[in-house]
Structure 1
Amino acid sequence: MIITGLLCGALLGFVMQRGRFCLTGGFRDMYLTKDNRMFYALLIAISVQSIGVFALIQMGLIQFQAGEFNWLATILGSFIFGIGIILAGGCATGTWYRAGEGLIGSWIALFGYMGMSAVMKSGALSPVNNSLKGISTPTNSIPATFGLSVWPFIALLALITIFLVVKQLSKPKVFIPSLPPKRKGLNHLLFEKRWHPFFTAILVGLVALLAWPLSEATGRMSGLGITTPSANILQYLVTGDGDKYLNWGVFLVLGIFLGSFVAAKGSREFRFRAPDAKTAVSSFSGGILMGFGASWAGGCSIGNGLVMTAMMTWQGWVSLIFMILGTWAASYFVYVRPRASAKKKAAVYQTTTA
């Protein structure tokens, strides 16, 4: 049954690569260009998963316990993670699928992410990782906090998502010229045609839903998750303890890499691209911050931003907010401030040479 993790991950990697489902770029563009399409796409994926998962829970097919809400660790860790994904050029899942495209910078970020996650979870920094766990509230479930059923919250999310999506789709479309298709039929649809982010989001939501019963069938009571499985890969390579570290989640993240590779090869987008020294340092530093922040927050942009939000937990939605704030803060120092400084220097130069 553990091989289903590989198949589920391959589906996710294929879909995300072909649909260019990049949350890092989406969060960044909300701030830099006021483009909210990828955020709306994330809401679609959350809604699809939430409706499906709670339907499965009601039918008694899967189980879920929200647990307690480590609010301080979630806030700090998510903000740090948001900074890290800007420096790394991709979030945890984005780094995995872009590594499958042959992007060496993503490989560098991935090593930093895996290494720091392992150090935080079972290495020298495990006391740091656990230091804020005691600062928590006993109730993590949003519906339980208000003493209500989960379905009104799901309905509200679905209505907000539908409103935002319809509003976005009603905007005038910008014509983007494209070359005549070189392929026909299914081959064209899978590997050549541009995928709409909202269509991609529906598929991501369905894969996230599929992950729940497949994972729980192996005894892993959770859905999609990236940080702990990524750390487990490194821990397995160091210790060789397969019984402890090789599980459904490990095969999931390996499947993301495999699915992305297949998609990139099929669409002729795979090629090895080496970064310059500055980008390499930034990627590795971002990977370290990603691993540190995601470990503290109890999840990354997928574990918290997609899964725990769908489960209507405080951890998921608070994490998503501070993750976005972290990307905006980093975007200011990485993109906005350097541009403003460059414009100022250019203006001074023109004044002095006039």
Structure 2
Amino acid sequence: MIITGLLLGTVLGFVFQRGRFCVTGAFRDLFTLRSSRWLTAFMVVVAVQSVGVFALDAAGVITLAPETFPWLGTILGGLIFGFSIVLAGGCATGTYYRAAEGLVGSWFALIFYIVGAAAFRKGPLAGTTEAVRSVETQTGSFQQLTGLSPWVFVAVLVAAVGVAVRHHLRRESRMTRFRLPATKTGLAHVLTEKAWHPFVTAAIIGVLAILAWPLSWATGRESGLGITGPSANIGAYIGTGDPELVDWGVMLVLGLLVGSFIAAKASGEFRIRIPDATTTVRSIIGGLGMGWGAAWAGGCTIGNAMVNTATFTFQGWASLVFMILGTGLATKIFILNHRGKGATPAATASPVTLTPVG
């Protein structure tokens, strides 16, 4: 049954790559462009998934258990992770799909992300993770704190995200668009050439995130999407050879690479790109920091900021806030302070997409 992880991961990787869905960019744009468009797209994923996961819980397909709130690890880890993704040039999923596009800097970031996650979750530094995450409160979610039905929070989230989406769509309707002539037709044009709208991409990711819950639970892994835990398992498996470490989550992240590579090749976006020395060093440090921060926080921008927010845990929402703050700090140091000096790091530059007609 763990093969379903590979299949879902392949589809997810394809969608992430073709939709250029970059959480680092979503956070960074708040500070560089003063734009919340991509953050709104990210919240669309959370809202869609929230509806689905509580429906699955109500139907008895999955059972959401009460959570604690390891606040110290969440805050420190969120800051470290948010800071590190700017250095790495992408978050966990962004690093996976950019590595599959041929970005050598992302290869380094991915390798050291796996090393860092394994070291802090299962290796010699696991004790530090246990220590910071032992500082916790027993009330771990909004519904636990208030005694209200989770559907109250689902309704508020969906309404707020809907207002934000409407705002951005209205702004877009007043913008002038420049389009390149299409070279493909039909499904090939839609899947491999036409630019995907962020909100459409987000809705698809949200549906896939919902599917991850029952597929993962069917294999005994009682969770949804996750990147850091599976990445740590990959590192531990390389070190120990223990086959029990290869679970549904490991297959999921391997599928991300497969799907992203297929998408990059099909769209003509695969190309080996070798970074300069500065970018390489930053990628390595960023990768290690991502693994460290995600371990302490209990998850990355997917497991925490996308999945745990959907179930309204304090860990999820606190990590989202502190990841954004960490991203803002690194953006100020490495990007905003270099504007006007001609030294914007190549690894953190957002791609410019010209939209083919169709």
Distance 2:225 2:174 in 1: 34
Pair 1:80 & 2:80 matched: yes
Distance 2:248 2:126 in 1: 23
Please tell me the residue identity of whatever aligns with 1:112. F
Pair 1:195 & 2:196 matched: yes
- Taking the TM superposition and a 5 Å limit, the aligned residue runs for 1:225-264 are 225-243=226-244, 245-264=245-264
Q: How many residues of Structure 1 are paired with residues of Structure 2 in the alignment?
A: 342
Please tell me the residue identity of whatever aligns with 1:52. G
Please tell me the residue identity of whatever aligns with 2:219. T
Pair 1:270 & 2:270 matched: yes
What per-residue deviation string (whole Å, max 9, x for no partner) do you get for residues 271-320 of structure 1? 11111111000000000110000000000000001000001111101100
Distance 1:139 1:252 in 2: 31
What per-residue deviation string (whole Å, max 9, x for no partner) do you get for residues 57-101 of structure 1? 100011222421100110010000000000000000110111111
8 Å Cα contact 1:116/1:291 also seen in 2: yes
Aligned residue in 1 for 2:177 = 176
What TM-score do you get using the length of structure 1 for normalisation?
0.95
Distance 2:87 2:250 in 1: 25
Q: RMSD of the alignment, in Å?
A: 1.2
Aligned residue in 2 for 1:211 = 212
Aligned residue in 2 for 1:70 = 70
Distance 1:173 1:289 in 2: 41
Distance 1:261 1:189 in 2: 17
SS at 1:137 equivalent? coil
Please tell me the residue identity of whatever aligns with 1:23. V
8 Å Cα contact 1:64/1:221 also seen in 2: no
Please tell me the residue identity of whatever aligns with 2:252. L
Aligned residue in 1 for 2:319 = 319
Aligned residue in 2 for 1:350 = none
Residues 102 and 340 of structure 1, relative CA distance in 2, 3 Å threshold: closer
Aligned residue in 1 for 2:296 = 296
> How many angstroms does 1:337 deviate by?
1.5
Structure 1 gap ranges (5+): 344-354
Distance 1:325 1:117 in 2: 21
Distance 1:179 1:340 in 2: 31
What TM-score do you get using the length of structure 2 for normalisation?
0.94
Whose Rg is larger? 1
8 Å Cα contact 2:93/2:227 also seen in 1: yes
> How many angstroms does 1:174 deviate by?
2.9
Moved more, 230-239 or 3-12: 230-239
Distance 1:118 1:145 in 2: 33
Aligned residue in 2 for 1:282 = 282
8 Å Cα contact 2:26/2:42 also seen in 1: no
Distance 1:302 1:173 in 2: 32
8 Å Cα contact 2:67/2:313 also seen in 1: no
What per-residue deviation string (whole Å, max 9, x for no partner) do you get for residues 99-148 of structure 1? 11111111100111100111111211111111112210102121111011
